[in-house]
Structure 1
Amino acid sequence: MTQRTLQLSNNRAVHYLERGIGEPLVFIHGVGMQANAWYPQIENLSADFRVIAVDMPGHGKSASLDAGAGLPQFVEWAAEFIEALDAGPVNLAGHSMGSLIAAGVAVTRPDLVRRVAVLNGVYRRTPEARQAVLQRAAELRAGTIDVETPLRRWFNAEEAQQIAAVRVESWLRSVDLDGYATAYTAFAKGDETYADGWHDIACPALVLTGSDDPNSTPAMARQMAEAAKHGKAVVIEDERHMVNLTAPDRVNRALRAWLQFEPHEAIIKSEV
Protein backbone atom coordinates (compact mmCIF):
# COMPACT_ATOMS: atom_id res chain seq x y z
CA MET A 1 0.00 0.00 0.00
CA THR A 2 1.32 3.43 -0.96
CA GLN A 3 0.92 6.57 1.13
CA ARG A 4 0.47 9.77 -0.87
CA THR A 5 -0.15 13.47 -0.25
CA LEU A 6 -1.84 16.03 -2.49
CA GLN A 7 -1.76 19.78 -2.01
CA LEU A 8 -5.14 21.43 -2.55
CA SER A 9 -6.05 25.12 -2.52
CA ASN A 10 -4.74 27.23 0.35
CA ASN A 11 -1.78 24.80 0.44
CA ARG A 12 -3.97 22.33 2.34
CA ALA A 13 -2.43 18.85 2.46
CA VAL A 14 -4.55 15.74 1.90
CA HIS A 15 -3.13 12.36 2.87
CA TYR A 16 -4.41 9.14 1.35
CA LEU A 17 -3.63 5.46 0.90
CA GLU A 18 -3.59 3.87 -2.54
CA ARG A 19 -3.45 0.26 -3.64
CA GLY A 20 -4.32 -1.63 -6.81
CA ILE A 21 -5.00 -0.67 -10.39
CA GLY A 22 -8.15 -0.31 -12.46
CA GLU A 23 -11.32 1.72 -12.09
CA PRO A 24 -10.88 4.26 -9.24
CA LEU A 25 -12.71 3.62 -5.97
CA VAL A 26 -12.49 6.39 -3.35
CA PHE A 27 -13.34 5.77 0.32
CA ILE A 28 -14.11 8.50 2.89
CA HIS A 29 -14.23 7.42 6.55
CA GLY A 30 -16.37 8.66 9.42
CA VAL A 31 -15.74 11.15 12.20
CA GLY A 32 -12.87 10.22 14.52
CA MET A 33 -11.54 7.54 12.17
CA GLN A 34 -8.83 7.57 9.50
CA ALA A 35 -8.15 6.06 6.07
CA ASN A 36 -7.03 2.79 7.67
CA ALA A 37 -10.61 2.25 8.87
CA TRP A 38 -11.27 0.79 5.42
CA TYR A 39 -8.62 -1.93 5.77
CA PRO A 40 -10.96 -4.89 4.99
CA GLN A 41 -12.17 -3.16 1.84
CA ILE A 42 -8.68 -2.07 0.76
CA GLU A 43 -7.41 -5.63 1.14
CA ASN A 44 -10.29 -7.19 -0.79
CA LEU A 45 -11.18 -4.67 -3.48
CA SER A 46 -7.66 -3.58 -4.48
CA ALA A 47 -7.36 -6.91 -6.30
CA ASP A 48 -9.62 -5.46 -9.00
CA PHE A 49 -9.79 -1.69 -8.46
CA ARG A 50 -7.56 1.29 -7.83
CA VAL A 51 -8.56 1.81 -4.20
CA ILE A 52 -7.97 5.23 -2.65
CA ALA A 53 -8.76 5.74 1.04
CA VAL A 54 -8.41 9.36 2.12
CA ASP A 55 -7.93 10.93 5.55
CA MET A 56 -10.79 13.37 6.12
CA PRO A 57 -9.78 16.96 7.05
CA GLY A 58 -8.40 17.15 10.58
CA HIS A 59 -7.99 13.36 10.73
CA GLY A 60 -4.96 11.17 10.18
CA LYS A 61 -2.38 13.20 8.30
CA SER A 62 -4.77 15.54 6.42
CA ALA A 63 -4.88 19.23 7.23
CA SER A 64 -7.98 20.62 8.92
CA LEU A 65 -10.60 22.88 7.45
CA ASP A 66 -11.49 26.12 9.20
CA ALA A 67 -13.11 25.61 12.61
CA GLY A 68 -16.50 26.84 11.40
CA ALA A 69 -16.64 24.57 8.34
CA GLY A 70 -19.98 22.93 7.70
CA LEU A 71 -20.90 19.97 5.54
CA PRO A 72 -20.81 22.01 2.28
CA GLN A 73 -17.14 22.86 2.93
CA PHE A 74 -16.33 19.16 3.46
CA VAL A 75 -18.15 18.36 0.22
CA GLU A 76 -16.18 21.04 -1.63
CA TRP A 77 -12.98 19.60 -0.16
CA ALA A 78 -13.87 16.11 -1.41
CA ALA A 79 -14.73 17.40 -4.88
CA GLU A 80 -11.41 19.24 -5.07
CA PHE A 81 -9.58 16.10 -3.96
CA ILE A 82 -11.29 13.98 -6.64
CA GLU A 83 -10.46 16.58 -9.28
CA ALA A 84 -6.82 16.61 -8.12
CA LEU A 85 -6.62 12.84 -8.57
CA ASP A 86 -7.26 13.48 -12.29
CA ALA A 87 -8.79 10.02 -12.65
CA GLY A 88 -12.10 10.94 -14.24
CA PRO A 89 -15.39 10.15 -12.49
CA VAL A 90 -14.82 7.80 -9.55
CA ASN A 91 -16.76 5.27 -7.58
CA LEU A 92 -17.25 7.09 -4.29
CA ALA A 93 -18.06 5.41 -0.98
CA GLY A 94 -18.42 6.95 2.46
CA HIS A 95 -19.13 5.77 5.97
CA SER A 96 -21.16 7.81 8.50
CA MET A 97 -19.88 11.41 8.14
CA GLY A 98 -18.07 10.22 5.02
CA SER A 99 -21.40 9.07 3.62
CA LEU A 100 -22.85 12.57 4.02
CA ILE A 101 -19.84 13.90 2.11
CA ALA A 102 -20.14 11.26 -0.62
CA ALA A 103 -23.84 11.95 -1.09
CA GLY A 104 -23.16 15.68 -1.16
CA VAL A 105 -20.62 15.25 -3.95
CA ALA A 106 -23.06 13.04 -5.89
CA VAL A 107 -25.71 15.77 -5.60
CA THR A 108 -23.55 18.81 -6.33
CA ARG A 109 -20.90 17.37 -8.67
CA PRO A 110 -22.42 14.43 -10.51
CA ASP A 111 -19.72 14.80 -13.16
CA LEU A 112 -17.20 13.47 -10.63
CA VAL A 113 -19.16 10.39 -9.50
CA ARG A 114 -19.64 7.18 -11.47
CA ARG A 115 -21.36 5.39 -8.59
CA VAL A 116 -22.01 6.36 -4.95
CA ALA A 117 -22.19 4.14 -1.87
CA VAL A 118 -23.47 5.31 1.50
CA LEU A 119 -22.62 3.11 4.48
CA ASN A 120 -24.31 3.78 7.83
CA GLY A 121 -25.51 7.15 6.64
CA VAL A 122 -27.98 9.48 8.31
CA TYR A 123 -31.02 11.06 6.71
CA ARG A 124 -33.49 13.46 8.29
CA ARG A 125 -32.91 12.63 11.96
CA THR A 126 -35.74 12.89 14.47
CA PRO A 127 -35.62 16.03 16.66
CA GLU A 128 -34.52 13.86 19.60
CA ALA A 129 -31.68 12.24 17.65
CA ARG A 130 -30.56 15.61 16.30
CA GLN A 131 -30.46 17.10 19.79
CA ALA A 132 -28.33 14.20 21.03
CA VAL A 133 -25.67 14.63 18.33
CA LEU A 134 -25.67 18.41 18.77
CA GLN A 135 -25.01 17.87 22.47
CA ARG A 136 -22.05 15.58 21.69
CA ALA A 137 -20.73 18.17 19.24
CA ALA A 138 -20.92 20.86 21.93
CA GLU A 139 -19.00 18.63 24.34
CA LEU A 140 -16.26 18.09 21.78
CA ARG A 141 -15.96 21.82 21.11
CA ALA A 142 -15.60 22.29 24.87
CA GLY A 143 -12.66 19.88 24.88
CA THR A 144 -14.39 16.76 26.20
CA ILE A 145 -13.95 13.54 24.26
CA ASP A 146 -15.92 10.46 25.32
CA VAL A 147 -14.48 7.31 23.75
CA GLU A 148 -16.31 4.68 25.76
CA THR A 149 -19.87 5.69 24.83
CA PRO A 150 -19.50 5.29 21.05
CA LEU A 151 -17.61 2.02 21.52
CA ARG A 152 -20.52 0.61 23.53
CA ARG A 153 -22.97 1.89 20.92
CA TRP A 154 -21.01 0.58 17.92
CA PHE A 155 -19.90 -2.88 19.11
CA ASN A 156 -21.40 -5.83 20.94
CA ALA A 157 -19.53 -8.24 23.22
CA GLU A 158 -18.68 -10.83 20.56
CA GLU A 159 -14.95 -11.54 20.17
CA ALA A 160 -14.78 -10.53 16.51
CA GLN A 161 -16.51 -7.24 17.29
CA GLN A 162 -14.18 -6.51 20.19
CA ILE A 163 -11.12 -7.08 17.96
CA ALA A 164 -12.41 -4.35 15.65
CA ALA A 165 -13.26 -2.19 18.67
CA VAL A 166 -9.63 -2.20 19.79
CA ARG A 167 -8.56 -0.64 16.49
CA VAL A 168 -11.38 1.88 16.54
CA GLU A 169 -10.51 2.89 20.09
CA SER A 170 -6.90 3.54 19.07
CA TRP A 171 -8.04 5.82 16.24
CA LEU A 172 -10.46 7.72 18.46
CA ARG A 173 -7.78 8.29 21.11
CA SER A 174 -5.25 9.55 18.56
CA VAL A 175 -7.50 11.92 16.59
CA ASP A 176 -6.87 15.67 16.70
CA LEU A 177 -9.56 17.05 19.00
CA ASP A 178 -10.07 20.29 17.06
CA GLY A 179 -10.39 18.45 13.76
CA TYR A 180 -12.74 15.95 15.37
CA ALA A 181 -14.92 18.71 16.82
CA THR A 182 -15.16 20.55 13.49
CA ALA A 183 -16.12 17.41 11.59
CA TYR A 184 -18.57 16.20 14.23
CA THR A 185 -20.33 19.56 14.31
CA ALA A 186 -20.72 19.44 10.52
CA PHE A 187 -21.98 15.86 10.87
CA ALA A 188 -24.47 16.84 13.59
CA LYS A 189 -25.94 19.63 11.49
CA GLY A 190 -25.70 17.98 8.06
CA ASP A 191 -28.37 15.29 7.88
CA GLU A 192 -30.77 17.49 5.92
CA THR A 193 -28.28 19.57 3.92
CA TYR A 194 -28.47 17.39 0.80
CA ALA A 195 -31.52 15.30 1.72
CA ASP A 196 -33.70 16.83 -1.00
CA GLY A 197 -30.93 16.20 -3.52
CA TRP A 198 -31.27 12.42 -3.32
CA HIS A 199 -34.01 12.69 -5.96
CA ASP A 200 -31.39 14.08 -8.36
CA ILE A 201 -28.84 11.29 -7.89
CA ALA A 202 -28.90 9.40 -11.19
CA CYS A 203 -25.84 7.17 -10.79
CA PRO A 204 -26.07 3.70 -9.17
CA ALA A 205 -26.48 4.29 -5.41
CA LEU A 206 -25.88 1.66 -2.74
CA VAL A 207 -27.27 2.52 0.70
CA LEU A 208 -26.11 0.04 3.34
CA THR A 209 -26.49 -0.17 7.11
CA GLY A 210 -26.77 -2.63 9.98
CA SER A 211 -30.12 -3.74 11.31
CA ASP A 212 -29.07 -2.79 14.86
CA ASP A 213 -27.67 0.66 14.12
CA PRO A 214 -29.93 3.00 16.13
CA ASN A 215 -28.67 6.20 14.50
CA SER A 216 -28.17 5.16 10.87
CA THR A 217 -31.34 3.15 10.74
CA PRO A 218 -32.65 0.70 8.13
CA ALA A 219 -35.59 3.07 7.61
CA MET A 220 -33.17 5.86 6.70
CA ALA A 221 -31.34 3.56 4.27
CA ARG A 222 -34.55 2.59 2.53
CA GLN A 223 -35.71 6.20 2.26
CA MET A 224 -32.44 7.26 0.61
CA ALA A 225 -32.47 4.31 -1.78
CA GLU A 226 -36.09 4.92 -2.74
CA ALA A 227 -35.38 8.59 -3.43
CA ALA A 228 -32.46 7.90 -5.79
CA LYS A 229 -33.16 7.01 -9.41
CA HIS A 230 -31.06 3.84 -9.26
CA GLY A 231 -30.89 3.13 -5.54
CA LYS A 232 -30.54 -0.13 -3.67
CA ALA A 233 -30.82 -0.55 0.10
CA VAL A 234 -28.93 -3.35 1.83
CA VAL A 235 -29.52 -4.03 5.54
CA ILE A 236 -27.09 -6.45 7.18
CA GLU A 237 -28.74 -8.30 10.01
CA ASP A 238 -27.38 -8.24 13.57
CA GLU A 239 -24.82 -5.52 12.81
CA ARG A 240 -24.30 -2.01 14.13
CA HIS A 241 -22.56 1.17 13.03
CA MET A 242 -19.09 -0.12 12.12
CA VAL A 243 -20.45 -2.75 9.77
CA ASN A 244 -17.58 -2.48 7.27
CA LEU A 245 -15.26 -3.73 10.06
CA THR A 246 -17.54 -6.21 11.81
CA ALA A 247 -19.13 -7.82 8.73
CA PRO A 248 -16.47 -7.21 6.06
CA ASP A 249 -17.31 -10.19 3.87
CA ARG A 250 -20.95 -9.20 3.51
CA VAL A 251 -20.07 -5.54 3.00
CA ASN A 252 -17.47 -6.41 0.37
CA ARG A 253 -19.97 -8.56 -1.51
CA ALA A 254 -22.47 -5.71 -1.53
CA LEU A 255 -19.79 -3.29 -2.73
CA ARG A 256 -18.73 -5.64 -5.51
CA ALA A 257 -22.32 -5.98 -6.71
CA TRP A 258 -22.65 -2.18 -6.67
CA LEU A 259 -19.40 -1.81 -8.63
CA GLN A 260 -20.73 -4.10 -11.35
CA PHE A 261 -24.10 -2.36 -11.61
CA GLU A 262 -24.94 -0.23 -14.62
CA PRO A 263 -28.01 2.07 -14.73
CA HIS A 264 -29.60 0.22 -17.64
CA GLU A 265 -29.83 -3.00 -15.61
CA ALA A 266 -32.98 -4.02 -13.75
CA ILE A 267 -33.33 -2.18 -10.46
CA ILE A 268 -33.85 -4.02 -7.19
CA LYS A 269 -34.90 -1.34 -4.74
CA SER A 270 -34.31 -3.07 -1.44
CA GLU A 271 -32.71 -6.16 0.04
CA VAL A 272 -32.78 -7.29 3.68
Structure 2
Amino acid sequence: MLIRWTVFFILIGLSSFLFGQDLSSKDPVMESWKYVYPVKEATLFDSLQIAYVEEGQGPVLLFIHGLGSNLQAWYKNLDSLQLTHRCIALDLPGYGKSDDGKHPYSMDFFAETIAAFITQLELKEVTLVGHSMGGQIAIHTVLKNTEEITRLVLVAPAGFETFTPEQQQWFATFVTPTVVKATPDAQIIRNFEMNFFDMPEDARFMIADRMVLKASPAYDAYCEMIPQCVNAMLTESVFDRLSEIQLPALVVFGENDGLIPNKFLHPGLSVREVAEAGVGEIPQAQLAILPSAGHFVQWEQAAELNNLISAFTVK
Protein backbone atom coordinates (compact mmCIF):
# COMPACT_ATOMS: atom_id res chain seq x y z
CA MET A 1 0.00 0.00 0.00
CA LEU A 2 2.89 2.38 0.75
CA ILE A 3 4.17 1.95 -2.79
CA ARG A 4 0.76 2.71 -4.23
CA TRP A 5 0.36 5.89 -2.19
CA THR A 6 3.86 7.05 -3.11
CA VAL A 7 3.13 6.52 -6.79
CA PHE A 8 -0.20 8.30 -6.42
CA PHE A 9 1.57 11.42 -5.21
CA ILE A 10 3.91 11.19 -8.20
CA LEU A 11 0.87 11.11 -10.47
CA ILE A 12 -0.49 14.26 -8.86
CA GLY A 13 2.77 15.93 -9.85
CA LEU A 14 1.88 15.51 -13.53
CA SER A 15 1.76 18.29 -15.19
CA SER A 16 -6.26 17.64 -15.59
CA PHE A 17 -22.10 17.99 -19.65
CA LEU A 18 -22.53 21.37 -20.64
CA PHE A 19 -20.32 24.38 -21.10
CA GLY A 20 -20.94 27.04 -18.47
CA GLN A 21 -23.20 24.74 -16.49
CA ASP A 22 -22.71 26.92 -13.40
CA LEU A 23 -21.69 30.55 -13.23
CA SER A 24 -17.94 30.98 -13.39
CA SER A 25 -16.08 33.10 -10.90
CA LYS A 26 -12.65 34.51 -10.16
CA ASP A 27 -10.78 33.71 -7.01
CA PRO A 28 -9.21 36.71 -5.24
CA VAL A 29 -6.15 34.65 -4.30
CA MET A 30 -5.39 33.87 -7.93
CA GLU A 31 -6.04 37.49 -8.81
CA SER A 32 -3.32 38.51 -6.33
CA TRP A 33 -0.63 36.48 -8.11
CA LYS A 34 1.87 38.76 -9.82
CA TYR A 35 2.38 37.73 -13.42
CA VAL A 36 5.42 39.15 -15.18
CA TYR A 37 3.47 40.30 -18.24
CA PRO A 38 0.26 42.39 -18.32
CA VAL A 39 -2.81 40.15 -18.17
CA LYS A 40 -5.60 40.46 -20.70
CA GLU A 41 -9.01 38.78 -20.75
CA ALA A 42 -11.16 37.15 -23.40
CA THR A 43 -14.82 36.25 -22.84
CA LEU A 44 -15.85 32.90 -24.30
CA PHE A 45 -19.22 31.13 -24.37
CA ASP A 46 -20.84 34.42 -23.23
CA SER A 47 -19.53 34.26 -19.66
CA LEU A 48 -16.23 32.36 -19.35
CA GLN A 49 -13.35 34.77 -18.69
CA ILE A 50 -9.98 33.51 -19.91
CA ALA A 51 -6.81 35.24 -18.72
CA TYR A 52 -3.87 35.46 -21.09
CA VAL A 53 -0.69 37.36 -21.85
CA GLU A 54 0.41 38.50 -25.28
CA GLU A 55 3.83 39.76 -26.27
CA GLY A 56 5.71 40.33 -29.55
CA GLN A 57 4.89 40.36 -33.24
CA GLY A 58 5.22 37.79 -35.98
CA PRO A 59 4.08 34.19 -36.45
CA VAL A 60 1.56 33.24 -33.76
CA LEU A 61 2.54 30.85 -30.97
CA LEU A 62 -0.31 29.85 -28.63
CA PHE A 63 0.96 28.18 -25.45
CA ILE A 64 -1.15 25.70 -23.42
CA HIS A 65 0.10 24.72 -19.96
CA GLY A 66 -0.19 21.35 -18.25
CA LEU A 67 -1.95 19.82 -15.27
CA GLY A 68 -1.68 21.84 -12.07
CA SER A 69 0.20 24.62 -13.84
CA ASN A 70 -0.61 27.98 -15.47
CA LEU A 71 0.72 30.33 -18.12
CA GLN A 72 3.76 31.19 -15.98
CA ALA A 73 5.19 27.83 -17.07
CA TRP A 74 6.13 29.50 -20.37
CA TYR A 75 8.02 32.56 -19.08
CA LYS A 76 11.43 31.41 -20.31
CA ASN A 77 10.00 30.80 -23.75
CA LEU A 78 8.05 34.04 -24.03
CA ASP A 79 11.07 36.06 -22.92
CA SER A 80 13.03 34.96 -25.98
CA LEU A 81 10.46 34.03 -28.61
CA GLN A 82 8.58 37.33 -28.37
CA LEU A 83 11.49 38.88 -30.26
CA THR A 84 10.46 36.98 -33.40
CA HIS A 85 6.90 35.78 -32.71
CA ARG A 86 3.54 36.90 -31.45
CA CYS A 87 3.47 34.87 -28.24
CA ILE A 88 0.16 34.21 -26.46
CA ALA A 89 -0.08 32.10 -23.31
CA LEU A 90 -3.36 31.48 -21.52
CA ASP A 91 -4.63 30.09 -18.25
CA LEU A 92 -7.02 27.22 -18.89
CA PRO A 93 -10.44 27.38 -17.18
CA GLY A 94 -10.02 26.61 -13.49
CA TYR A 95 -6.35 27.56 -13.52
CA GLY A 96 -4.44 30.72 -12.66
CA LYS A 97 -6.36 33.92 -13.27
CA SER A 98 -9.04 32.41 -15.53
CA ASP A 99 -12.54 31.72 -14.24
CA ASP A 100 -13.15 28.66 -12.18
CA GLY A 101 -16.55 27.02 -11.81
CA LYS A 102 -18.20 23.66 -12.32
CA HIS A 103 -17.06 22.98 -15.86
CA PRO A 104 -16.65 19.45 -17.18
CA TYR A 105 -12.81 19.81 -17.31
CA SER A 106 -12.69 17.24 -20.11
CA MET A 107 -10.23 17.22 -22.98
CA ASP A 108 -13.13 18.08 -25.29
CA PHE A 109 -14.11 21.05 -23.11
CA PHE A 110 -10.56 22.37 -23.08
CA ALA A 111 -10.24 21.86 -26.84
CA GLU A 112 -13.49 23.75 -27.42
CA THR A 113 -12.11 26.51 -25.21
CA ILE A 114 -8.91 26.76 -27.25
CA ALA A 115 -10.85 26.80 -30.52
CA ALA A 116 -13.17 29.52 -29.21
CA PHE A 117 -10.18 31.52 -27.99
CA ILE A 118 -8.58 31.37 -31.43
CA THR A 119 -11.82 32.55 -33.00
CA GLN A 120 -12.34 35.32 -30.44
CA LEU A 121 -8.86 36.77 -31.02
CA GLU A 122 -9.15 36.21 -34.79
CA LEU A 123 -5.83 34.38 -34.83
CA LYS A 124 -4.48 33.08 -38.13
CA GLU A 125 -1.81 30.49 -38.99
CA VAL A 126 -1.42 29.45 -35.36
CA THR A 127 1.25 27.15 -33.99
CA LEU A 128 -0.17 25.41 -30.92
CA VAL A 129 2.44 24.70 -28.24
CA GLY A 130 1.25 22.34 -25.51
CA HIS A 131 3.03 20.93 -22.47
CA SER A 132 2.02 17.63 -20.84
CA MET A 133 -1.79 17.74 -20.47
CA GLY A 134 -1.65 20.86 -22.65
CA GLY A 135 -0.10 18.72 -25.37
CA GLN A 136 -3.02 16.31 -25.26
CA ILE A 137 -5.42 19.27 -25.33
CA ALA A 138 -3.56 20.65 -28.36
CA ILE A 139 -3.95 17.30 -30.12
CA HIS A 140 -7.68 17.24 -29.38
CA THR A 141 -7.96 20.79 -30.69
CA VAL A 142 -6.22 19.88 -33.95
CA LEU A 143 -8.44 16.82 -34.34
CA LYS A 144 -11.44 19.13 -34.29
CA ASN A 145 -10.11 20.49 -37.60
CA THR A 146 -9.54 24.06 -36.45
CA GLU A 147 -8.62 25.63 -39.77
CA GLU A 148 -6.42 28.35 -38.30
CA ILE A 149 -3.91 25.90 -36.77
CA THR A 150 -1.04 25.19 -39.13
CA ARG A 151 1.65 23.67 -36.88
CA LEU A 152 1.86 21.73 -33.63
CA VAL A 153 4.57 21.68 -30.95
CA LEU A 154 4.19 19.01 -28.26
CA VAL A 155 6.42 19.32 -25.20
CA ALA A 156 6.48 16.14 -23.09
CA PRO A 157 2.89 15.53 -24.18
CA ALA A 158 0.38 13.38 -22.35
CA GLY A 159 -1.42 10.99 -24.67
CA PHE A 160 1.55 9.13 -26.15
CA GLU A 161 1.67 6.76 -23.20
CA THR A 162 -1.37 4.45 -23.11
CA PHE A 163 -3.05 2.67 -20.21
CA THR A 164 -5.20 -0.45 -19.95
CA PRO A 165 -8.76 -0.29 -18.53
CA GLU A 166 -7.43 -1.83 -15.31
CA GLN A 167 -4.76 0.85 -15.02
CA GLN A 168 -7.33 3.55 -15.68
CA GLN A 169 -9.43 2.16 -12.86
CA TRP A 170 -6.40 2.30 -10.61
CA PHE A 171 -6.09 6.02 -11.30
CA ALA A 172 -9.80 6.52 -10.60
CA THR A 173 -9.45 4.76 -7.26
CA PHE A 174 -6.46 6.69 -5.99
CA VAL A 175 -6.80 10.10 -7.66
CA THR A 176 -9.75 11.58 -5.79
CA PRO A 177 -10.50 15.07 -4.41
CA THR A 178 -10.10 13.79 -0.85
CA VAL A 179 -6.64 12.37 -1.48
CA VAL A 180 -5.49 15.40 -3.46
CA LYS A 181 -6.55 17.69 -0.63
CA ALA A 182 -4.76 15.50 1.93
CA THR A 183 -1.39 15.78 0.16
CA PRO A 184 1.04 17.12 2.78
CA ASP A 185 3.24 20.14 2.14
CA ALA A 186 6.44 18.08 1.95
CA GLN A 187 4.95 15.88 -0.77
CA ILE A 188 3.68 18.90 -2.72
CA ILE A 189 7.25 20.20 -2.78
CA ARG A 190 8.53 16.81 -3.86
CA ASN A 191 5.89 16.63 -6.60
CA PHE A 192 7.16 19.86 -8.11
CA GLU A 193 10.77 18.73 -7.83
CA MET A 194 9.94 15.51 -9.70
CA ASN A 195 8.92 17.62 -12.70
CA PHE A 196 12.58 18.62 -13.11
CA PHE A 197 15.89 16.90 -13.67
CA ASP A 198 17.35 19.42 -11.21
CA MET A 199 14.78 21.99 -10.09
CA PRO A 200 16.36 25.47 -10.32
CA GLU A 201 15.78 28.20 -7.77
CA ASP A 202 14.00 30.39 -10.32
CA ALA A 203 11.25 27.77 -10.62
CA ARG A 204 10.46 27.58 -6.90
CA PHE A 205 7.90 30.36 -7.16
CA MET A 206 5.64 27.59 -8.46
CA ILE A 207 5.78 25.93 -5.04
CA ALA A 208 5.13 29.22 -3.26
CA ASP A 209 2.08 29.88 -5.45
CA ARG A 210 0.72 26.41 -4.73
CA MET A 211 1.08 26.94 -0.99
CA VAL A 212 -0.81 30.21 -1.25
CA LEU A 213 -3.54 28.40 -3.17
CA LYS A 214 -3.65 25.60 -0.60
CA ALA A 215 -4.29 28.11 2.18
CA SER A 216 -7.20 29.70 0.31
CA PRO A 217 -10.89 28.77 -0.02
CA ALA A 218 -10.23 28.12 -3.73
CA TYR A 219 -8.28 24.98 -2.89
CA ASP A 220 -11.43 22.88 -2.57
CA ALA A 221 -12.42 23.65 -6.18
CA TYR A 222 -8.86 22.96 -7.32
CA CYS A 223 -8.86 19.56 -5.59
CA GLU A 224 -12.18 18.73 -7.24
CA MET A 225 -10.86 19.71 -10.67
CA ILE A 226 -7.55 17.81 -10.73
CA PRO A 227 -9.08 14.29 -10.65
CA GLN A 228 -11.47 15.31 -13.44
CA CYS A 229 -8.50 16.37 -15.58
CA VAL A 230 -6.63 13.14 -14.86
CA ASN A 231 -9.69 11.06 -15.70
CA ALA A 232 -10.21 13.04 -18.90
CA MET A 233 -6.65 12.38 -20.08
CA LEU A 234 -7.20 8.67 -19.54
CA THR A 235 -10.69 8.29 -20.98
CA GLU A 236 -10.28 10.70 -23.90
CA SER A 237 -7.13 9.11 -25.26
CA VAL A 238 -5.58 10.29 -28.51
CA PHE A 239 -2.98 7.69 -29.42
CA ASP A 240 -5.22 5.83 -31.85
CA ARG A 241 -5.98 9.09 -33.67
CA LEU A 242 -2.47 10.50 -33.99
CA SER A 243 -2.34 9.37 -37.62
CA GLU A 244 -5.14 11.85 -38.37
CA ILE A 245 -2.88 14.83 -37.61
CA GLN A 246 -2.17 16.18 -41.07
CA LEU A 247 0.13 19.09 -40.27
CA PRO A 248 3.79 19.47 -39.31
CA ALA A 249 4.51 18.55 -35.70
CA LEU A 250 7.55 19.02 -33.47
CA VAL A 251 7.72 16.72 -30.45
CA VAL A 252 10.20 17.43 -27.65
CA PHE A 253 10.90 15.36 -24.54
CA GLY A 254 13.42 15.70 -21.75
CA GLU A 255 15.80 12.76 -21.61
CA ASN A 256 15.33 12.55 -17.85
CA ASP A 257 11.54 12.88 -17.70
CA GLY A 258 10.50 11.38 -14.37
CA LEU A 259 6.78 11.36 -15.06
CA ILE A 260 6.50 9.97 -18.58
CA PRO A 261 6.52 7.03 -18.77
CA ASN A 262 4.84 6.14 -15.48
CA LYS A 263 7.55 4.44 -13.42
CA PHE A 264 5.12 2.23 -11.48
CA LEU A 265 2.69 1.11 -14.18
CA HIS A 266 5.26 0.95 -17.01
CA PRO A 267 8.64 0.25 -15.38
CA GLY A 268 10.03 -1.32 -18.54
CA LEU A 269 9.38 1.65 -20.82
CA SER A 270 11.86 4.44 -21.57
CA VAL A 271 11.20 8.05 -22.48
CA ARG A 272 12.50 7.39 -25.97
CA GLU A 273 10.20 4.40 -26.49
CA VAL A 274 7.12 6.43 -25.54
CA ALA A 275 8.24 9.39 -27.63
CA GLU A 276 9.05 7.33 -30.72
CA ALA A 277 5.79 5.38 -30.47
CA GLY A 278 3.78 8.60 -30.65
CA VAL A 279 5.92 10.31 -33.26
CA GLY A 280 5.74 7.21 -35.43
CA GLU A 281 1.97 7.65 -35.68
CA ILE A 282 2.08 11.30 -36.82
CA PRO A 283 2.86 11.53 -40.55
CA GLN A 284 4.76 14.85 -40.48
CA ALA A 285 6.37 14.68 -37.04
CA GLN A 286 9.94 15.22 -35.95
CA LEU A 287 11.38 14.32 -32.55
CA ALA A 288 13.96 15.93 -30.29
CA ILE A 289 15.02 14.50 -26.92
CA LEU A 290 16.97 17.03 -24.88
CA PRO A 291 19.58 16.04 -22.28
CA SER A 292 19.64 17.23 -18.66
CA ALA A 293 15.92 17.93 -18.68
CA GLY A 294 12.97 16.39 -16.90
CA HIS A 295 9.26 16.77 -17.54
CA PHE A 296 9.51 20.58 -17.43
CA VAL A 297 11.82 20.62 -20.43
CA GLN A 298 10.64 24.12 -21.47
CA TRP A 299 12.19 25.49 -18.29
CA GLU A 300 15.36 23.44 -17.93
CA GLN A 301 16.28 23.56 -21.64
CA ALA A 302 14.50 26.78 -22.57
CA ALA A 303 17.18 28.08 -24.93
CA GLU A 304 17.37 24.83 -26.90
CA LEU A 305 13.59 24.49 -27.08
CA ASN A 306 13.28 28.11 -28.21
CA ASN A 307 15.81 27.44 -30.98
CA LEU A 308 13.87 24.35 -32.08
CA ILE A 309 10.58 26.25 -32.15
CA SER A 310 12.13 29.12 -34.11
CA ALA A 311 13.61 26.79 -36.70
CA PHE A 312 10.30 24.94 -36.94
CA THR A 313 8.09 28.01 -37.37
CA VAL A 314 10.10 30.82 -38.97
CA LYS A 315 10.36 30.44 -42.72
Shorter-chain TM-score: which interval?
A: 0.7 to 0.9
Matching of residue 24 in structure 1 with residue 67 in structure 2: no
Matching of residue 34 in structure 1 with residue 70 in structure 2: yes
Matching of residue 250 in structure 1 with residue 286 in structure 2: no
Work out the percentage of aligned pairs sharing the same amino acid: 22
Which moved further from structure 2: 111-120 or 42-51?
A: 111-120
Q: Equivalences for 1:211-230 in 2 at 5 Å? A: 211-216=255-260, 217-230=271-284
Q: Of residues 206, 209, 232 in structure 1, which corresponds to 2:253? A: 209
Q: Which residue of the partner structure matches residue 243 of structure 2?
A: 199
Larger Rg: 2
Q: Which residue of the partner structure matches residue 75 of structure 1?
A: 111
Q: Of residues 82, 85, 95 in structure 2, which corresponds to 1:59? A: 95
Deviation digits for residues 23-58 of structure 1 (CA, Å, limit 9, x no counterpart): 211001112221121001101100011100101111
Matching of residue 260 in structure 1 with residue 314 in structure 2: yes
Matching of residue 125 in structure 1 with residue 162 in structure 2: yes
CA apart distance, 1:61: 0.9
Hey, what's the Cα distance between the residues in 1 that align with 2:119 and 2:179?
A: 31
Q: What letter is aligned with 2:205?
A: R
CA apart distance, 1:213: 1.2
Q: CA RMSD in A?
A: 2.4
SS of 1:170's equivalent in the other structure is: helix
Q: Which residue of the partner structure matches residue 152 of structure 2?
A: 116
Hey, what's the Cα distance between the residues in 2 that align with 1:54 and 1:37?
A: 10
SS of 1:154's equivalent in the other structure is: coil
SS of 1:41's equivalent in the other structure is: helix
Q: Which residue of the partner structure matches residue 28 of structure 2?
A: none
Q: What letter is aligned with 1:186?
A: C
Q: Which runs of 5+ in 2 are unaligned?
A: 1-36, 261-270
How many residue pairs match? The answer is 258
SS of 2:256's equivalent in the other structure is: coil
Q: Which runs of 5+ in 1 are unaligned?
A: 262-272
Hey, what's the Cα distance between the residues in 1 that align with 2:301 and 2:103?
A: 34
Which moved further from structure 2: 209-218 or 47-56?
A: 209-218
Q: Equivalences for 1:232-251 in 2 at 5 Å? A: 232-251=286-305
Hey, what's the Cα distance between the residues in 1 that align with 2:223 and 2:250?
A: 27
- Verify the 8 A CA contact 1:164 1:246 in the aligned structure 2: no
Hey, what's the Cα distance between the residues in 1 that align with 2:45 and 2:205?
A: 32
CA apart distance, 1:246: 1.2
